[in-house]
Structure formats: structure tokens, C-alpha cells
Amino acid sequence: MTKTAWVFPGQGSQALGMGTDLLDIPTAKEKFAQAREILGWSVTEICQNEEAKLSQTLYTQPILYVVESILTDLIRERGHQPDLVAGHSLGEYIALYVAGVFDWSAGLHLVKRRAELMDIAVGGMMAALMNFDREQLETVIANTPNVVLANDNSPAQVVISGTPEAVKTVMSQVKAKRAIPLKVSGAFHSHLMATAAAEFQTILDTVEFQPATVPVLSNVEPVATVDATILKQRLSQQITGSVRWREISLQLPVNSIEKVIEIGPGNVLTGLIKRTIPDLILTNVRNAAELPN
């Protein structure tokens, strides 16, 4: 049997119309109804009609959790199971749900609160850098206060996060093919999110984590584990910690993974994995039409 990892994208992968083709499936329709009760608003209405809201953190994160988890449940209904799971930032919550660490509604309550806290975080800045000198980047970040490597996505793509002044300093000093400021409200995955992280911890403490049914590669510590205590500790560090996706990609062959399925809109993660580990089989399940038999 081919050892397979399922991976789940985070904020930035959303697209207008996502999830609406699932409304014809009774179990999916039921989940959307449950989500409306928890969230107080309709995932499908925003996905169909409200592009501005779809790109707002407050809505984006719960919507991605709901749509990606529904797609995953439909894959599992067809008899498929992963050998390992991982998710990028918000995507880690779907990975933990799939691994049985918490139930679906508990996960959505966590994501709802995470989105609320991150949505009101202001005063920070993030920027993506493509095709850069990594050694130079690390040196400049080390010598510039209030900026960190927030997302180490692939050998050729990273995101930095911090105060606007510090981020602009790094952008001006590091030679890169492209450097793009991101449309986000705050400096996600940096020490500037410490207040949000502390508030989030109060709800995280109320959720009991179970041992994972399959190994999970966490963002802040990409070493596979099924230990509930370790997984919770890693998740508690995630809002302020770096997303070490390049290292997650490198861990896939270490864990004997031969195939990766990205579940959710877009193909960001399979693209990043391909740049880091080119020999894996990579597939996507973005909608109902791409569900396996």
C-alpha cells in the first residue's frame, strides 16, 4: 500500500464559490447547518455572494475549517484514510480533527475564537519573499528587532512578520526576485500576537485533546507525534510561532510518505511540497468533482 499524507491549506487559499457544490450532498448540508448554529452566520451564503467577507480573517478561517473538514469526511466515507496529516497554519486544526484529537464542533469553536482574536489584531505587517538569499535573510532578520520568519514555506518562498518599519527594513535589505506586502490585519505568527495567543489559551484549556489516530506534523515542531499533550502544547504556540512548512515537507519521506493529497481550495501546498520534495505523488481534492471513488 502507498503511504499517504493528507494536508490542509490555510488562509489565502479561499475562493469565491468554494464549497457550494457540496450542498447537494445530505451529510454536507447537515454540517453547514451545524456550522451556522455555532457561528451565527452562513458559510455557504458568504462563499456564494460575499467576496469581501470571504477574505476577512473573521470569516475566512471558520469557512476553510468547515469546507475542508466536509471534503475530508466525504473522502473517509468512501473508505480512504491517511497515514499522516499536517496543515498550514489554520489547516492544522483540520488535521487535528481528522486525527481524532478533538470532535468537529470543538474544533470549530476553537477556530471561531482564533479568527475573532486574529481579526482584531492590528499594527503589524507581513510580506512574502520569493527567490532570495536565505543566508542573507537570516542575517538581516537576526540584526533587525521586531521582525521574524513567520512562514518558511519552501526553499524559494517565505513570509516575514513584524512591525511595519521592521518588515520594510528587511524587504529593503534582502535581495529577492519578488517581495510582496500581504493584505492581513496583523503580524500573524510573531511575538506581536502574544496578547491574542494568551486570550486564545483560555478557550484552548477547556478542550480535552485525545491521542491522535494517525501521526500529526505540527507547524511549530515538525516531528510526527500522536501524543495528545504534545499536540496541544504545540497548538498553543502556533499563533505566535513560525509555520515551518519547508521542514514539514522534508519530514514526509522521513515518515515513508509516497503520496500527498491536499484537501481544500487551491493547490498552494502541493506546489510548495513539489519545490521542496519533487519525487512525491501529489494530488488535490478541491471540490465534489475531485472526490475519489
How many residues are recorded in the chain?
293
Q: What is the 3-state secondary structure (H, E, C) of 160-215?
A: EEECHHHHHHHHHHCCEEEEEECCCCCCCCCHHHHHHHHHHHHHHCCCCCCCCCCC
Edge-to-edge strands, sheet with 216-217: 216-217, 84-87, 4-8, 259-263, 281-285
User: Distance of CA 229 to CAs 88, 225, 232, 235, 251, Å?
Assistant: 20, 10, 5, 10, 21
pLDDT score of 186 more than 90: no
Catalytic residues: 89, 189
DSSP 71-140: HHHHHHHTT---SEEEESTTHHHHHHHHTTSS-HHHHHHHHHHHHHHHHT--S-EEEEEEEE-HHHHHHH
CB 145 within 8 A of CB 168: no
User: Once rounded to an integer, what is the mean pLDDT over residues 35-49?
Assistant: 95
pLDDT digits (tens, 9 = 90+) for 128-183: 999 999 999 999 999 999 999 999 999 999 999 999 999 999 999 999 999 999 88
Could you state, in order of their start, the residue ranges of all structural domains in the chain? 4-120+190-290, 125-181
pLDDT score of 184 more than 90: no
**Please, what is the end-to-end C-alpha distance for the chain in angstroms?**
17
Residue 1's pLDDT is what? Answer: 82
DSSP tag of 259: E
Can you identify the CATH homologous superfamily of domain 125-181? Answer: Malonyl-CoA ACP transacylase, ACP-binding (3.30.70.250)
37, three cell numbers: 448554529
Can you identify the CATH homologous superfamily of domain 4-120+190-290? Answer: Malonyl-Coenzyme A Acyl Carrier Protein, domain 2 (3.40.366.10)
How many angstroms separate the CA atoms of 192 and 122, rounded?
9
Give the alpha-carbon dihedral of 17, 19, 21, 22, to 10 degrees: -160
The whole-model pTM stands at: 0.95
pLDDT score of 103 more than 90: yes
